[in-house]
Structure 1
Amino acid sequence: MSIEDYRPDFIVEAVYDLTPDSLRKHGIKAVLVDLDNTLIAWNNPDGTPQLREWIDSMTEADMPVVVVSNNKYSRVKRAVEKFHIDFVSRAMKPFTRGIHMAIDRYGFSKDEVVMVGDQLMTDIRAAKRAGIRSILVKPLITSDAWNTKFNRARERRVWKKLEDKYGKMIYKKEI
């Protein structure tokens, strides 16, 4: 395993900064997105008005959004059903199971899909393994669920190695 396995293709402040136009400029036609701390704060399962606006803008632009989450079915369903977007639960990131399920379900082409998430160790690594592009976003809130805290410690070491090799990683407002 090399440090490249954790290097995101793009780094943006928030999933809400992604627009259909900016995605299309990069040949992206579908967005796979992590749930906790990417789409919604892990401790606020109801989301925000900003989330509703972003999903509406993607839907109006015919840009499919599919949540790919390691969470259990009931948790993901409760979080996304009011937004009428599809999801894959128990995705098993950093493995590729959930990403492949979403790609296969919709017949997406790997070069037209991007995985968006807040963790190098799960979201970005899974995207690299699946052979698709990735976008790292800042976590929506600075606290994590108990099961994510372990990954964050490892992630800080990986982040430092990435910056040592490629220079400072800066969150931007668009891809």
Structure 2
Amino acid sequence: MIRLLQPDLYVRSLCDIPLAHLKARGIRGLIIDLDNTVTEWGRATLDRGVRRWFADLKEEGIRACLVSNNRSGRVKKVADALGIPGISRAGKPRRRAFRQAMAVMETEASSTAVIGDQVFTDILGGNRLGLYTVLVMPINSREFIGTRMMRHVERLFTRHLPVADLSGYDKRP
């Protein structure tokens, strides 16, 4: 059970994940969480670095799909701004939305990664399907009250995880 809660990679932020690292692993599609991964919880605006990272994904031919437990209006707004599909009310860590995202991106488990800030939704859901999982540190401490409560339990797993040093990779392949 504990293995299902451990990410394959732990990084500070979405923008710290070099595309060369993903491509070297054979990743062609990314299932990406919204809140505190792409943007702050409750916010629909995107930082310049995040926009650039997503533009680089497209240039490299890596597909992406937002998968969030959040409501549809907010997910659609951010997904449209990034020019990618989005799945709302995903029910993570259930597998249905992860499978739906892979179908939309036309990828298999072996070529798909999950990127998110929560162990019990993003990492657990991805690991249940055998996907490559990347845990990012939350962008902000402001978040849904249920998430804040789960963070206390998450810290039991994350406090001993080493943050990956990917300095050997260029940001782009």
Q: What TM-score do the two structures reach when normalised by structure 2?
A: 0.90
**Which residue is equivalent to 2:161?**
169
**Which residue is equivalent to 1:7?**
6
Shift in Å, 1:51: 1.1
Cα distance per residue 1:17-41 (max 9 Å; x no partner): 1232221111111111100000111
Is the Cα–Cα contact under 8 Å of residues 11 and 136 in structure 1 kept in the other structure? yes
Shift in Å, 1:173: 4.5
Kindly indicate which of the two structures has a greater share of residues assigned to helix. 1
Shift in Å, 1:98: 1.0
Cα distance per residue 1:108-146 (max 9 Å; x no partner): 111000000001111000001122110001001122222
C-alpha RMSD over aligned residues: 1.6
Q: Greater shift after overlay, 116-125 or 81-90?
A: 81-90
Structure 1: give runs of 5+ residues left out of the alignment: 161-167
Query: Structure 2: how far apart are the matches of 1:159 and 1:169?
Result: 5
Structure 2: give runs of 5+ residues left out of the alignment: none
Runs of 4+ deviating beyond 4 Å: none
**Which residue is equivalent to 2:142?**
143
Cα distance per residue 1:72-96 (max 9 Å; x no partner): 1111012221121111111111111
Alignment identity in percent?
A: 28
Q: Which amino acid aligns with 2:133?
A: S
**Which residue is equivalent to 2:125?**
126
Q: What TM-score do the two structures reach when normalised by structure 1?
A: 0.89
Is the Cα–Cα contact under 8 Å of residues 137 and 171 in structure 1 kept in the other structure? no
